[in-house]
Structure 1
Amino acid sequence: MTPESITIPVAGKGCIAATLWPAHEARAVVLIHPATAVTQAFYEHFARFLTSLGMSALTYDYRGTGRSRGATLRGETVTMAGWMDEDVPAVTRWAAARFARVPLLAVGHSVGGHALILGGGGPVRAAVLVASHAGVTATIRGAAERARVWLVMRLLAPLLCGLAGYMPGKRIGLGEDLPRGVMLEWSRWTTLPRYFYDDPAVDAARRAASLRTPLLVLGFDDDPWANPHAMDLLLSGVTGAAIERRQVRPADAGLPGIGHMGFFRKRCGAALWPQVGEWLLARAGAMQGSEAS
């Protein structure tokens, strides 16, 4: 079926550009919450895979990125907390209203998973976290990668945001350009021992503890950022939700590597996507069965 371009308003603070990937007689709708500095185009192949299983999918760009970016990032005031507290709920509300008769599910990549943990679940009935971790620089595996991230977060981020008015991520291999507020808040969290749990303004401990949505959490042995320790730290606040952890060794999946981004690449689809699709379908089926009874 033909994808549909969607515009979702964010409570008087701009709009989000989204794409609906419809499935015929959809059994569920899956929201795909992107990683930092990654646009929705990256998730297209995975979204199409979900539609092949009979689930519609919604991809989108956070404000200040991709198709949700304005003519200039200078003057853009959105923060990373704003993505979690405003963008993700706006997308969720839109989908819940449009698809009130089928289960609403979610997949969060990296910071997309953070938003799911802090959001309390709401109408989302089950969610998959892919490579989501507390992004504390000190937890990164490998001295070289840890030093590179330290350089970007502690030195380049404040310098370049000050000079340009935004983070020119494309120029330094960070991915997409980012709004100043997003980059500086992210940078600050990376210095805190427990990431955003140590930021009183986020109130992360209370919010994470309120989550009751069942979670499937995927990690990959060759991901230097979302390693088991960093993932444990992120999940430490989730005390009331059922969590299923799966740690994947690339060789066991017949893959040369997966890393932080690889799960959503088409080359990993045959080996990794079916297990997630089956888990989502099982949750959708269980929900529809309980509602029917």
Structure 2
Amino acid sequence: MADGATYAHSRGPLKKAEVFKTTDGAELVGEFFLPVNAARGALVMNGATGVPQTFYRAFAEYAAQEHGFVVFTYDYRDMGRSGRGSVRRSTASMADWGLQDQQAARAYVRRNFPELAFWTIGHSLGAMTLPLQQDTDGIDRVICVASGNVSHSDHPWPYRAQALMFWFGLGPVVAGVFGYVPGKLLGIGADLPGPAYWQWRRWCTSKNTFGDEAGRSLPAIHWDQPQTQVKFIAFDDDVMMPPHCVKRLAGDYGKTDTDVTVITPEAHGLKAVGHLSAFSRKNRAIWDQILA
């Protein structure tokens, strides 16, 4: 376990593997990135579906070195460095990642750095489920990046054709045959456990957030944290999570469309950002705006 008092006197950025457990017993692996000087706050990075924590390493180092944060990245259960055995046998669901794992990471960082202001950055899934979670008191700032409530009918063409194939064509076929979705083989990211894929499919092919599971098999949507600053960032070239879907999520936080910042890549000298590349090193030009 990390020792916040020890870290406070370390020169950085320090990177150290951390193992922690969720309340239901899953063992997860994360990593701290430490600033050189006194920290201004602690920041937990909740990743997107199928995206390993290593993808966020450059951003974590930047947030630590240039903005003075203690940054914690981690992998959801049965993903990346938190992988345990064959993904085919995994029982991990999207709800496990979005509720159990995210809450455990937040609690772990709080235990180690209780004296620091606390921030959360959620990329896609990383902020989508926060309004369902318990123990959200004490979060000073939430930054939602390319995170929203989306249905397959929200995607623009021609990307919608790919989404339809993933939800109604090739995706169900390979999930049924393999027992999981071989993302690496298909070139769409990490391998996804079967339960996670099927739940994700229900959420993204329903007109209602979480496919009517919220308030039934999942906690009800309830965000009542007026002291928490919540910031939403969308990208106008994001075909997977168009800006109007980010604005839909803002409603779950009790916010309006005016609380959503829509970034145009060209305004920052970038060719494209899209859905997954906001934290890619090549798009470093937008990182200050994310952390502002």
The 8 Å contact of residues 196 and 202 in structure 1, kept in 2 or not, is answered as no
Q: Matches of 1:234 and 1:12 in 2, distance apart?
A: 27
Q: 1:229 aligns with which of 203, 222, 244?
A: 244
Q: Matches of 1:197 and 1:211 in 2, distance apart?
A: 25
**2:15 counterpart of 1:3:** yes
Q: Matches of 1:241 and 1:117 in 2, distance apart?
A: 15
Q: 2:97 aligns with which of 83, 96, 101?
A: 83
The 8 Å contact of residues 119 and 211 in structure 1, kept in 2 or not, is answered as no
C-alpha distance after superposition, 1:104-129 (max 9, x if no partner): 10110000011333326333211111
> Could you say which residue in structure 2 is the equivalent of 1:218?
233
Task: Give 1:211 shift.
Answer: 4.5
Secondary structure in structure 1 of the residue aligned to 2:221 = helix
> For residues 135 and 173 of structure 1, do their structure 2 counterparts lie closer, same or farther at Cα, with a shift above 3 Å needed?
farther
**2:104 counterpart of 1:93:** no
Q: 2:271 aligns with which of 256, 260, 271?
A: 256
> Could you say which residue in structure 2 is the equivalent of 1:102?
116
The 8 Å contact of residues 197 and 203 in structure 1, kept in 2 or not, is answered as no
Q: 1:22 aligns with which of 31, 34, 50?
A: 34
**2:197 counterpart of 1:183:** yes
Secondary structure in structure 2 of the residue aligned to 1:67 = helix
> Could you say which residue in structure 2 is the equivalent of 1:289?
none
Secondary structure in structure 1 of the residue aligned to 2:259 = strand
Secondary structure in structure 2 of the residue aligned to 1:171 = helix
Q: Which one is further off, 76-85 or 114-123?
A: 114-123
The 8 Å contact of residues 21 and 56 in structure 1, kept in 2 or not, is answered as yes
The 8 Å contact of residues 222 and 249 in structure 1, kept in 2 or not, is answered as yes
% identity of equivalent residues = 27
Q: Matches of 1:10 and 1:90 in 2, distance apart?
A: 5
Q: Matches of 1:253 and 1:233 in 2, distance apart?
A: 25
Secondary structure in structure 2 of the residue aligned to 1:183 = helix
Q: Matches of 2:201 and 2:118 in 1, distance apart?
A: 32
The 5 A counterparts of 1:255-274 are: 255-269=270-284, 271-274=285-288
Question: Which amino acid is 1:107 matched to?
Answer: I
Q: Matches of 1:198 and 1:163 in 2, distance apart?
A: 27
Question: Which amino acid is 1:76 matched to?
Answer: S
The 5 A counterparts of 1:196-215 are: 196=210, 198-200=212-214, 201=216, 203=218, 206-212=220-226, 213-215=228-230
> For residues 230 and 242 of structure 1, do their structure 2 counterparts lie closer, same or farther at Cα, with a shift above 3 Å needed?
closer
Q: Matches of 1:208 and 1:83 in 2, distance apart?
A: 18
**2:62 counterpart of 1:49:** yes
Q: Matches of 1:74 and 1:249 in 2, distance apart?
A: 39
Secondary structure in structure 2 of the residue aligned to 1:218 = strand
How many aligned positions are there? 275
Task: Give 1:73 shift.
Answer: 1.1
Secondary structure in structure 1 of the residue aligned to 2:162 = helix
- TM norm structure 2: 0.88
Secondary structure in structure 2 of the residue aligned to 1:222 = coil
Task: Give 1:203 shift.
Answer: 5.0
Task: Give 1:59 shift.
Answer: 0.5
**2:133 counterpart of 1:119:** yes
**2:66 counterpart of 1:66:** no
Task: Give 1:208 shift.
Answer: 3.8
Unaligned 5+ runs, structure 1: 280-293
Task: Give 1:231 shift.
Answer: 1.5
> For residues 111 and 243 of structure 1, do their structure 2 counterparts lie closer, same or farther at Cα, with a shift above 3 Å needed?
farther
Secondary structure in structure 1 of the residue aligned to 2:239 = coil
Task: Give 1:241 shift.
Answer: 9.4
Q: Matches of 1:165 and 1:203 in 2, distance apart?
A: 24
Q: Matches of 1:117 and 1:243 in 2, distance apart?
A: 19
Unaligned 5+ runs, structure 2: 1-11
- TM norm structure 1: 0.88
C-alpha distance after superposition, 1:154-212 (max 9, x if no partner): 223322222212111111122000111111100111111023163243556x4344344
Question: Which amino acid is 1:4 matched to?
Answer: K
Q: Matches of 1:177 and 1:110 in 2, distance apart?
A: 17
